[in-house]
Amino acid sequence: MLLCAFLVCGACTDSNEAQLSGQKDKSYNDSAETLVNSSSDNDNPPLLTLSELLNASDVRNALSSAAAKNDDALLIEWQNKLLKAADEVNLSSSEKKRLEGELGLKYLAFQGMKFNYQTAFQRAFVSFESVDEVYSAYPAFKNLHERSSRLVEQRDALIASVADELSEQGFDGDVHEEAKRQWQVYIKSQPPFTP
């Protein structure tokens, strides 16, 4: 994850360095070395945001697991890793502060629960299962329940529209089930979403 950030940032700083030095073709090694050497400089903008750090797949999986198992040791381990990463990517001091101390552990546990809510909702949403069970399992996320409910309404309206269209075209079979099948094929081909 951090390597990707350095690669992306290397491309961004490459043109700035070329303008400053009058060179048009700097190598990747030069720009990567510049990034590493200047990473301690406080004038550098953050390479990543806190949200980007938390949404890295390894972090997301670890926080989800820690929240599901109430594993404080795992939370502390990842808090330390994230604080180290925060320094490496020059995370803003206000965002880094969210990770520190007891409040930081509570924040990370909350993020893990939110990731678990999102995963449970997505599974129910795509499988046409009742999302009410998800809502009752995660009562702390009422604001997400409202947004999630709107997604369910939009999904159902789209499926009804597709079913009507299939019916008009003379589809032989259960138009509602076919509309759901087509929607599932489409949604599974898209990148994951966040309710």
d(CA 156, CA 160): 6
3-state SS, 82-116, equals: HHHHHHHCCCCHHHHHCCCHHHHHHHHHHHHHHHH
Domain ranges of the chain: 50-188
d(CA 108, CA 98): 9
Coil, helix or strand at residue 131: coil
CA distance linking residue 76 with residue 27, whole number of Å: 39
pLDDT tens for the chain, residues 1 to 195: 222 222 223 333 333 333 333 333 333 333 333 333 434 445 688 899 999 999 999 999 999 999 999 999 999 999 999 999 999 999 999 999 999 999 999 999 999 999 999 999 999 999 999 999 999 999 989 888 999 999 999 999 999 999 999 999 999 999 999 999 999 999 888 887 666
Dump pLDDT digits (tens) for 130-153. 999 999 999 989 888 999 999 999
The pLDDT of residue 191: 81
